[in-house]
Chain A
Amino acid sequence: MNANLAFPATVLLGGVAALDATPVAQTLLSQPLVTATLLGWIWGDWQTAFSVGVVLQILAASTLPVGSRTPEDYATGGVVGTGVALALAHGVQMQPWRDSAALAGVMTGLVAATTGVPLIRWQRRRNEGLSRWCEAELRAGRERSLGEANLAGAAMAFGIGVAYVALWLAVGSFGLRGLVEQESLRFSRAWTVLQPLWLGFGLAQLLSAFVQRRLTRAAVFGASLIGAWLTLVMGMP
């Protein structure tokens, strides 16, 4: 897709991801691997989208929206990270530059996911006012206020998602372009180490969630690792 169309499509996807994350449906459409796949198709660059999406996904998987805790916002962070990487790598064939763009994308995505937390908290405080308004309207006889309050909450989440992704996409893809271009060798070298480091880190976080200090589960993981390794390296028996 033409970059002029890919930018607005990325921004709109940010709004959809912000909706799916909490306010509407919660189907995991907002997960970084899913949004990266869609962005890879939109921008016509699967390689960059996957390399960034897999890293952000494995880190997002151990971040859970339990109770009233506000977790890092990987819905918009995932779109920002992959979008920035795709924008920086757009039309470039040189591998160090592409790796450098991937690193810039992951780092921007992580920062955007972290700085998104106060924004979500702010949004939730605005929803408190919306709830009180809704109850008052109901008692005054307007039953439609329930639907209107929910629509307003969803519209606010979508609008904030769109604006937040647009802001980070502009900052990341234009602000980092010079750095990515000039320091592509350094960034590329860092990416070759950081990508497997992050992957191992994320896999360990997930493993810890599954094992929960139970020896049989740890043994199942160990047997699976050794079995898969032997099958991969030595071939099927």
Chain B
Amino acid sequence: MARLDQSVFLRVAARANFLQATWNFERQQGVGWAYALQPVIEALYPDAAVRRERLAEHTAYFNTQPTLASLALGAAARLEEQRAAGTGPDAAAMGRIKGVLGSTLAALGDRLFWFSLRPFAAALGVLIALARPESAAGAIVLWSVYAVPHLALRFAGVGIGYHRGAGVLGGRLRDYLETAVTILAYAGCIVLGVAVAWSLAPGGEPRTIAVQSAVAGGLGVGLLSAQRARPSPTQWALGMGVLGILAAWQRLA
């Protein structure tokens, strides 16, 4: 039986970029998961019939936060290695472990990447774009603040998941990621404070009362509307746009 090495992990991580290429309501990331795990299965199972059976098994339902999926892929690679040696879980147990891994990683990954890092990157990018509108710095900062840790964890995550196994999120790794969520929330509050101050007085020059009132009005409506999921922020924004256009029409009629 072949041992799994760094080159296999690298191929799995590269394929993890396509984890959601066929995302659907039925199996969600299932086919992308099997595609990412294919180098592991090929290395472990020389028998073509067994290999196909394992790959088909892995196309079943799976879903998690796409960055932390690398940790789950690494853990699954280790379990498959044990399975190929005759000591690992059977198909049903493998499915259950994948389900637990997926939901555990999603619970933390959604908070870290979707609810913390992505809004933080956006807030920082917008602040820099407001302060330096003639340069690409805002976009570069937005992209790199998110993409660098995202891609780093995607590529390193497979190896980490393999070495830590099914209990990948136990111990200090979970503490580190939880701490990152808290730090990002405080950092986001600071960045947003500066962004609001800048939108009221860019470069130290206070804007007109009408503009400051509009910013304050938007903040008020935003804070109130954020308490309810519906209407969505986009629907609120569209409604404001229509009202704003109608108001301007009336004034110049």
Q: Does B31 count as interface, using CB distance less than 8 angstroms?
A: yes
Q: Does B100 count as interface, using CB distance less than 8 angstroms?
A: no
* A193 engages B210 (CB within 8 Å): yes
Question: Size range of the interface on B?
Answer: 35 or more
| B201, chain A: closest CB distance, angstroms | 5
* B218 engages A217 (CB within 8 Å): no
* B219 engages A208 (CB within 8 Å): no
Chain A contacts of B115 at CB under 8 A? Answer: 64, 209
Chain B contacts of A26 at CB under 8 A? Answer: 20, 66-67, 150
B contact face: mostly helix, strand, loop, or mixed: helix
| A234: nearest chain-B partner, CB-CB | B204
Q: Which of B78-86, B87-95, B131-139, B163-171 makes up part of the contact surface?
A: B131-139
* A59 engages B22 (CB within 8 Å): no
C-alpha gap A205/B123 in the complex (Å) = 11
Chain B contacts of A200 at CB under 8 A? Answer: 196, 199, 214-222
| B111, chain A: closest CB distance, angstroms | 10
Q: Which of A57-96 contact B (CB under 8 A)?
A: 57-68, 72
* A34 engages B139 (CB within 8 Å): yes
| A65: nearest chain-B partner, CB-CB | B114
Query: Can you list 12 contacts pairing A with B, beta carbon distance less than 8 Å?
Result: A33-B126, A110-B234, A113-B234, A153-B22, A186-B252, A197-B218, A209-B188, A210-B116, A218-B189, A225-B196, A228-B197, A233-B201
B residues with a Cβ closer than 8 A to A are: 17-18, 20-28, 30-32, 34-35, 38, 48, 51-53, 55-56, 59, 63, 66-67, 106, 110, 114-116, 118-123, 125-126, 129-130, 133-134, 136, 138-140, 142-143, 146-147, 150-151, 185-186, 188-201, 203-204, 206-207, 210-212, 214-223, 225-227, 232-238, 240-241, 244-245, 247-249, 251-252
By Cβ-Cβ distance, the 10 closest A-B pairs, closest first, are A204-B222, A200-B218, A224-B193, A61-B122, A208-B226, A228-B197, A37-B139, A190-B248, A127-B24, A153-B22
